Amino acid sequence: MDVTSDKLEELAERAYREFTDVSDYIWKSPRLIEHETGLEVKKLHTYFPNDQKHAKIRWHFESNKLNSVFPYLIAIGNLFSVMSLFESYLLLLASELEKHTSIPTKSAREQGVNRLFNYFKDIGINLDQVELYTQVQAAIKIRNCLTHASGLLTWSIEKQELKRLQKSGTYLSKKHRSLRKNKGGEYDEVRIVTSGLGERLQINNEYAFVVSGYLRDFFIGLCQSATSFKQNGNDSST
């Protein structure tokens, strides 16, 4: 194994540890709501021991935050954070491979994460052969839609594609879709809801958790593909 292969293996191991830690955080983060719910219930008895009217008014506003606002912010924040981590690892991988090819990353088409994917394709790595690539692409589209106008589909140029992903459940892996189908469950990690401004894409924290695993496993698979690519002698710098 050459120096590059050692570096890629080291990068994959580092990514595995970091994504696993992030996944654990994502899984546990809704416990904040459980904790705060308990505190708010105690406050009702403390603040309004003999005043049911004002206790109900306070609970009306607090319960809305606990049941709607906080879950939304937790899910969105977790998805954005893990997607940002993923993009940083793609950049690290591209920077390492760039040292051993004659093709610079800046020569790739488009911007951001799509530029990095195009770079991997340009140097000869077949992304379609890396497991979970479809789900990673779906996560990027969903993240992008949520970034702009909080998921309003009318503002997305990929409105129809997002609807297809949500309806078909293909934002989930084949394994997860099969398990869900066998248990008679719905694809509800990603939903399309009606708002005052039209259809809006919405996710829950379970989706952020599932995606964290997809991103981790895809990146490790990508490193393995890059290692095989190098070992087979496909080095454009030689």
Instruction: Dump pLDDT digits (tens) for 29-39.
Output: 999 999 999 99
Distance separating alpha carbons of residues 123 and 121, to the nearest angstrom: 6
- Residue 181 neighbours by CB under 8 Å, 6+ apart: none
Two tokens at 47? 């603040």
Q: Is residue 147 part of a domain?
A: yes
Q: How many whole angstroms separate alpha carbon 105 and alpha carbon 164?
A: 32
- Alpha-carbon gap, residue 153 to 136, rounded angstroms: 20
In a domain, 237, yes or no: no
Q: What is the pLDDT of residues 16-57, one digit of tens each?
A: 999 999 999 999 999 999 999 999 999 998 999 989 999 999
Buried-state track 101-120, b at ≥16 Cβ within 10 A, e below 16: beeebeebeeeebebbbbbb
| Nearest alpha carbon to residue 119 among 140, 98, 88 | 98
Q: What is the pLDDT of residue 227?
A: 86
Q: Are 88 and 110 in contact (CB under 8 A)?
A: no
Q: Read off the pLDDT of each residue in 6-13 and give the average, rounded to a whole number.
A: 94
**Among 218, 231, 190, residue whose Cα is nearest residue 134:** 218
User: 208-211: long-range contacts at Cβ-Cβ below 8 A with a sequence spacing of 24 or more?
Assistant: 208/26, 208/75, 208/78, 208/79, 208/82, 209/23, 209/26, 209/27, 209/78, 210/172, 210/176, 211/79, 211/82, 211/83, 211/135, 211/139
**Is residue 238 included in any domain, yes or no?**
no
pLDDT band at 94 (very low <50, low <70, confident <90, very high): very high
Residue 59 domain-assigned? yes
The tens digit of pLDDT for each residue in 122-155 reads 999 999 999 999 999 999 999 999 998 889 999 9
In a domain, 79, yes or no: yes
Residue 236 lies in a domain: no
Residue-level length of the chain: 238
Q: Give the total number of structural domains in the chain.
A: 1
The whole domain housing 177 covers 3-231
